[in-house]
Amino acid sequence: MSIAPSPPSILSVRQLSCERDERLLFSGLDFDLYPGELLQLEGPNGVGKTSLMRLLAGFLPASGGRIYWQGKPVEGCWEEMHQALLFIGHLAGIKAELTPLENLHWFAALEGGQEEEDLEEALSRVGLAGFEDQPCQQLSAGQKRRVALARLLFTRRSLWLLDEPFTALDKQGVAAMEHLLVEHAQAGGTVILTSHHALEQLTGLRKIHLGAPQAGVKEAIHE
Partner 1 sequence: MNKPAAAFCRLKQKPANLPGLFAVFKAALGREWRMQVRRRGDLVNPLVFFALVVVLFPLGISPTEDILAPVAPGVLWVAALLATLMSLDALFRPDLLDGSLEQQLVTGYPLAPLALAKLGVHWLLSSLPLILLSPFLGIMLYLPWEAQGVMMLALLLGSLALSLVGAIGAALTAGVGKSGVLMTLLVLPFYIPVLIFGTGAMQAAISGGSAMAHLSLLGALAALAITLAPWAIAAGLKIAVSGE
Partner 2 sequence: MWKWLKTLYHRLGSPKWFYQITGSWLPWFAGAAVVFLGVGLVWGLAFAPADYQQGNSFRIIYIHVPAAFLAQSVYIMMAVAGVVLLVWKMKMADVVAQSLAPFGATMTFLALLTGAIWGVPTWGTWWMWDARLTSMLILFFLYLGVIALREALQPQEVAAKACALLAIVGVINIPIIKYSVDWWYTLHQPATFTLTEKPAMPASMWVPLLIMLLGFYALLGWSVILRARAEVLKREYKAGWVKELLQRK
Q: What Rg value do the Cα atoms of the chain yield, rounded? A: 18
- Interface residue with partner 1 among 79, 200, 219, 223 (CB under 8 A) is 79
CB of 84 to partner 1, least distance (A): 8
The reply to whether 89 sits near partner 1 by the rule CB under 8 A is yes
Residue with Cβ nearer partner 2 (38 or 52): 52
Interface segment toward partner 1; rule CB under 8 A; list 38-46, 63-71, 120-128, 191-199: 120-128
- The reply to whether 98 sits near partner 1 by the rule CB under 8 A is yes
Closest distance between partner 2 and the C-beta of residue 85, in Å? 23
CA 88/CA 177 separation, integer angstroms? 13
Binding window for partner 1 (CB under 8 A); candidates: 5-13, 97-105, 192-200, 214-222: 97-105
The residues binding partner 2 (CB under 8 A) are 20-22, 61, 216, 218-219, 222-223
Nearer to partner 1, 29 or 92 (CB): 92
Residue type, 108: A
Contact 142, 110 (CB under 8 A): no
Q: Sign of torsion, CA 106 123 156 11?
A: positive
- Residues found near partner 1 in the complex (CB under 8 A): 57-61, 79-80, 82-87, 89-98, 102, 105-107, 109-114, 118, 121-122, 124-127, 129, 135, 149, 152-154, 156, 170, 172-173, 175-177, 179-180, 183-184, 187
